[in-house]
Amino acid sequence: MTEKQQIQDSPDEYQARLNKVLNRGHTMMTRIPELAAKVQREKHHVDWIDQAEVDSRIQKRRYTLAQACEMIGVDSKTLVEAERDALLPAPDYRQDTPNRMRAGYTINQINHIREHFGTAPRKPESMPCPVVGFMNFKGGSTKTTSCHLYSQYLAMRGYRVLVVDTDPQASLSFFFGKMPDYTVHYHHTIAPYLLEDEDSLEFAGFPPGSSQTLDYAVQKTYWSNIDIIPSCSKLLSIDLLSKSFIGLTDAPHASLFSKLRDGLMGLSDNYDYILLDGTPSLNLNTLNSILACDLVFVPTPPSMPDFSSTLYFVKLFFDALDMLSKDSPGHNVPVLRFFIAKKQRGETDDFMCSVIKSVFSVSDGDVLENSSPASREIGKTTSYTYTIYEENPSESSNRNGLKRACEEFNQLFDEMHDVVSQFCFSDISHRPPSIDITLDPNKHVEDGDREESSTLEETAHV
Ligand SMILES: Nc1ncnc2c1ncn2[C@@H]1O[C@H](COP(=O)(O)OP(=O)(O)OP(=O)(O)O)[C@@H](O)[C@H]1O
Ligand SMILES: [Mg+2]
């Protein structure tokens, strides 16, 4: 008898197998962040990090004093004096060496110091918070990766970022330490707000009137300046629920489709950027997401299926705008910008890149100059649920590859940042300072670092 027949013959056994997988998966899902944190804990003294710890995940990337000072915008003497005078917490020291060497600073620590010195960058005061989406109906086109990395690129530079996961697959929520369907449920997502589902929020313990704003849905992450509105598989039900919702109301389409934007604008004062991770499907949720944005970046991998799906995305976007222009002119319309994603070197990709540019570029700048590289480092780091920006170069198995990937993503995000500044702040000089990603304080043998660390300690004891 074949295995298939056996399965057909005993459905109970088949269900028992599936149950086993689900139970194991459940256990692993709840343990992954804890295990990842444990591995990191063994490397460093983490008293200070523990305060910033959320959902069992920690920041592991460390920057040297010199790098931290450059990122903060103060000189090392000023920083060291503030630490010595207890205006700032004492620095962490490495536990893996008998020498007294600084362990370096995490981004959370750097952001705390930025706050102390008042050097954190902020969006122009008079401007609302830009809402930037990463969308394409093509699955796997790198929406989540791009959104995730861009949020960290901004947070590393000191901006306050809100990321909104609109995808029922909830990968972004997972990467930020949330457990979709385990610790994130329907009442934690944008759904009750979009569907005006007051009953579910009250049942979950929220005060009356909670469905009027998105405040109930905002959660902290282990990055002190990145908050998240998470997602879970229940967002799928928006599709089913929204049909009856649309049928039950006489409200014009625009008031349904502008709901998410209204909700996000209500949170705008607390952030410099709001980023949306899109879903590879079309429903009320997707239209709300697209129309909530000031700018939508459309990642387009250079392959024929990705190209044709991106065209389909443009077609649906066109149809939605057409419907809205008849129904409610004056509705917010996002600017679309395409960028080539997962680009490899070689003739095939070059050909598809020129196809993408010639089709999607009607005016200058419609397709970004920079692309995201296809990089094995992305896959490697996401397996450990950390990104290339969170990896210490000294711990990488391919330091050059990591450096190259960070540099290429930085170039892409610099350009995105220019586009956002141009459209949302009318100011392209708003580009954040670059960050030297080549060094970290965890190297064990390189002379430069030891020298630097001992110099730092001398400074510290002056
Ligand atoms: N630049 C890159 N180089 C190599 N692999 C990448 C790159 N960007 C993303 N990936 C990988 O491609 C896969 C799909 O990426 P991602 O989840 O970001 O796509 P998506 O558009 O969000 O997918 P979905 O439509 O399912 O939400 C992931 O396994 C990710 O690790
Ligand atoms: Mg995704």
- For ligand 1, the distance from its centroid to the CA atom of residue 341, given in whole angstroms, is 9
Using DSSP bridges, classify how beta strands 219-220 and 226-229 pair: parallel, antiparallel or unpaired: antiparallel
Ligand with an atom nearest the CA of residue 141:
1
**Residues with Cβ within 5 Å of ion ligand 2?**
143-144
Q: Lowest mean pLDDT of 22-31, 71-80, 101-110, 172-181, name the range.
A: 22-31
Instruction: Quote the pLDDT of residue 416.
Output: 96
> In angstroms, what is the span from residue 98 Cα to ligand 1's centroid?
42
CB neighbours (10 Å) of residue 91? 19
Average pLDDT score over residue span 31-51? 55
pLDDT grade, residue 350 (50/70/90)?
confident
* Ligand 2 centroid to residue 459 C-alpha, Å: 46
Atom 2 in ligand 1: residue holding the nearest Cα: 374
Query: Residues with beta carbon inside 6 Å of ligand 1?
Result: 139-145, 167, 169, 171, 280, 342, 372-375, 378-379, 382
How far apart CA 360 and CA 357 sit, in angstroms, is 6
Domains of the chain and any CATH numbers: 31-120 (1.10.1660), 131-430 (3.40.50.300)
Instruction: Please spell the DSSP secondary structure of 251-282, one letter per residue.
Output: S-HHHHHTHHHHHHHTTGGG-SEEEEE--SS-
Backbone region of residue 67 per phi and psi (left: phi > 0; alpha: psi in -120 to 50; beta: other values): alpha
Task: Name the residue among 384, 381, 382 with its Cα closest to residue 393.
Answer: 381
Residue 279 Cα, ligand 2 centroid: separation in angstroms?
6
Q: Find where tokens 């103060």 sit.
A: 74
Choose among 264, 311, 299, 55: nearest CA to 166: 264
Q: How confident is the model at residue 193 (pLDDT cuts 50, 70, 90)?
A: very high
Question: Cα–chain-centroid distance for residue 124?
Answer: 22
Tell me the one-letter amino acid at 296: V
The whole-chain average pLDDT of the chain stands at 82
pTM: 0.86
Positive or negative: CA dihedral 86, 91, 92, 94: negative
Average pLDDT for residues 414-439, to the nearest whole number? 76
303 C-alpha to center of ligand 1: Å? 14
Q: Minimum-distance ligand to the CA of 299?
A: 1
pLDDT band at 41 (very low <50, low <70, confident <90, very high): low
pLDDT in tens, 7-33: 566 767 777 776 777 777 667 666 666
pLDDT, position 244: 47
